[in-house]
Amino acid sequence: MDDPAPAPAPRTDATPPKTALVVGANGFLAGYLIAALQRHGWRILRGVRDNGTPPRADQRIADLARMTSPQDWRDTLQGVDAVVNVAGILRETGAQTFQAIHIDGPLALAQACLAAGVPRFVQISALGEPADGGFIASKHRFDEQLLALPLSAVVLRPSVVYAASGSYGGTSLLRALAAFPGRHLLPGDGRWRLQPVVAEDLGEIAARAADGKQTGIYQVGGPRPMSLRDYQAAWRRWLRIDGDGAVAFPESLVGLQVAIGERLGRGPVGETMWRMLRRGNVTALDAHARLQSDFGYATRDLGQALAATPSQVQDRWQAQLYFLAPTLRLAIVALWLISAVAGWLTPAATIEALAANSPMAAWQPVALARITAGLDAALALGLLIGWRPRWMLGLMGISVLAYTLAFGLLLPAQWLDPLGGLAKNLVVLPALAVAWVLADRR
């Protein structure tokens, strides 16, 4: 395969940089697109939702759920030379619907570009079939409406997008399955085909598109299709984890897990992604050659991309903590619920006997035990439903620290309890800290 064409030379000081508005700038893919645009000399404006605080100098309000008429975008587009829309949702929640985020908001934005004279629009869509689900169907409906406008626009439809430097959603799950100790885990028998593209290559093509004249739809994938089994085996080798064997999970079991996650509104793979995977997510036969011809850039295969970024121990941590993080959270929820039940059901006489002959005897220990049990239950339920998990974990840590200091000073015999007593908190506190860190995960 020919080497990719070099990026254009940086602009000189005499040439003012063009400005690109990147909509969905806080998403996983946007970071790679922004990096590529900056390499090409673009000034970046990050399109973000309105969170009630004034935007930074490099931000513009771009709330697709609320900005559904061209007039809403007038201020946002001031001084913009190109729009790159990478916003998208995999599931609908509240006002974040496929119709709003994938069609109404972007269409109003495109129409506003026409009115404001913004000369270029780059749409990051997705490879798949509308029959796969609302995510793909809504993306493709907007693609068609965009290209029907008298606006210089191009649509990029990538297959599975991955990055060695990070992962998101389904790619995080696949990396974790590949990193499983002993043998990697396969959905089905791993025969399904995909044509993964590294995020840096998608960013490079998007940057060239922003400054180009290409129009129409381009499918973006690696040079050739590969099976899911081969995809995961490549990641396992990159992570330097021993064991080439695989354990295949029946499609019916995986489908059940996906269906449960879909009903709960959780999980990295929804029913749309599951259909896309089983159908096969590959580009047309001429797609790779067409990309190279029209953009002057050849996407790399998985092996080349991974070889360019050797794995480190932190990559193995990320992959192998994927399943441990929710397990740890559930264990914490269970411990707090058990503590709450114990606080409610322990007889008053037992509590009073424990506090006897100590300063705690004057603190109404029975009432205190019942109140703290209620607090434990509230924190456990908040963490279970995912409501502000870092707040819940932080409050749990504060409460454990308070319990430890109070009981450790006022009832020092508890340190020598034969079943652990207060000594267990020396493990609980760092476990809460680890869970707090892992709460920020994708």
pLDDT in tens, 53-71: 889 999 999 999 999 999 9
Contact 354, 411 (CB under 8 A): yes
| 356 residue type, one letter | A
Whether 7 shows a pLDDT value over 60: the answer reads no
Q: What is the mean pLDDT of residues 352-374?
A: 86
Retrieve residue 198's tokens: 């590294």
Cα of first residue to Cα of last residue in the chain, in angstroms, is 34
Alpha-carbon distance of 343 to 379, in angstroms, equals 14
Least confident interval from 75-84, 202-211, 352-361, 394-403: 352-361
pLDDT digits (tens, 9 = 90+) for 21-39: 999 999 999 999 999 999 9
CATH 3.40.50.720 intervals, the chain: 19-166+194-224+281-311
45 three-state secondary structure? strand
Helices 313-320 and 228-239: crossing angle in degrees, nearest 10, is 130
* One CATH from 3.40.50.1440, 1.20.120.160, 3.40.50.720, 3.50.7.10 for 19-166+194-224+281-311: 3.40.50.720
**Which DSSP category does 281 fall into?**
B
**Which DSSP category does 82 fall into?**
E
Q: What is the pLDDT of residue 2?
A: 46
pLDDT digits (tens, 9 = 90+) for 265-305: 777 778 888 888 888 999 999 999 999 999 999 999 999 99
Alpha-carbon distance of 86 to 36, in angstroms, equals 14
Alpha-carbon distance of 29 to 24, in angstroms, equals 9
Share of the chain above pLDDT 90, in %: 73
HEC string of 377-441 equals HHHHHHHHCCCCHHHHHHHHHHHHHHHHHHHHHHCHHHHHCCCCHHHHHHHHHHHHHHHHHHCCC
Whether 96 shows a pLDDT value over 70: the answer reads yes
Alpha-carbon distance of 4 to 1, in angstroms, equals 9
Whether 12 shows a pLDDT value over 60: the answer reads no
Strands 226-227, 193-194: pairing kind: antiparallel
Q: Which CA distances in Å does 327 have to 86, 172, 338?
A: 32, 16, 16
**Which of 23, 34, 149 lies closest to 89, judged by CA?**
23
Alpha-carbon distance of 32 to 194, in angstroms, equals 21
Whether 138 shows a pLDDT value over 50: the answer reads yes
